[in-house]
Amino acid sequence: MPTRQIEVTDWHLEQVGPADLRPARTPDVPVGIVRAELPSPELSRYLYTAVGGDHYWTDRLTWTYDQWLNWLSRPGVETWIAHVRGTPAGYAELDPQPDGIVEISCFGLLPAFTGQGIGGHLLTVGTARAWDLAARWDDRKPTRRVRLTTSSHDAPAALKNYQARGFRVYDVTVATATVGHTPPGPWPGAR
């Protein structure tokens, strides 16, 4: 596959208190959001590729089963999954950092579920769970900040959704990246 150089902008956003969270409206479709309490590399890899395949999410594609399991088994890491009529629609992955920071390390919807208000609702719930993460983990300090990063590769509505939920940009970085001509899609050979 031919590659090319492109400029990629990353926006680093944060909330500095639970009062910063501005909840989204409830979507018109019934959405359930539950925590996947058992570390499941298969499930997490599926969500990562299904959500990120169209947006050049490639960092974890080479991870082995054990690398996924080690990542997901760290204390405080949580995966919150949105379901519509039993079907996974998207997810938010929470990654606690030192000093009371919780990173929303992965967030997004499967393509079939965009444009229905599900993303704002999932981000509301995922962010609220980041703020109260210490209540579910004995060894965690209370959350002081919730952070996330989005890129010019991500869905066009991503940055607006984050800002509408009360996240503020605290840094912007621009770098050159080498990418394939098209994103890899949700699984090898899908295109």
**Beta bridge pairs of residue 176:** 7
Residue stretches of the chain with pLDDT short of 50: 191
Q: Are 17 and 171 in contact (CB under 8 A)?
A: no
Provide the angle, in degrees to the nearest 10, between the axes of the packed helices 65-72 and 41-52.
100
**Beta bridge pairs of residue 84:** 87
Helix, coil or strand: residue 173: strand
Quick one: pLDDT at residue 41?
96
Say which residue the tokens 């959405």 belong to.
31
Q: Are 4 and 181 in contact (CB under 8 A)?
A: yes
Quick one: pLDDT at residue 181?
56
Burial class of residue 157 (count of CB atoms within 10 Å of its CB; 0-12, 13-18, 19+) = middle
> Which of 153, 155, 135 has the alpha carbon at shortest distance from 143?
135
Q: Are 80 and 92 in contact (CB under 8 A)?
A: yes
Where do the domains of the chain lie? 3-180
Q: Report CA 132 to chain centroid distance, whole Å.
A: 17
Quote the CATH superfamily of domain 3-180. Answer: Gcn5-related N-acetyltransferase (GNAT) (3.40.630.30)
- Can you read off the two tokens belonging to residue 175? 């770098």
Quick one: pLDDT at residue 1?
57
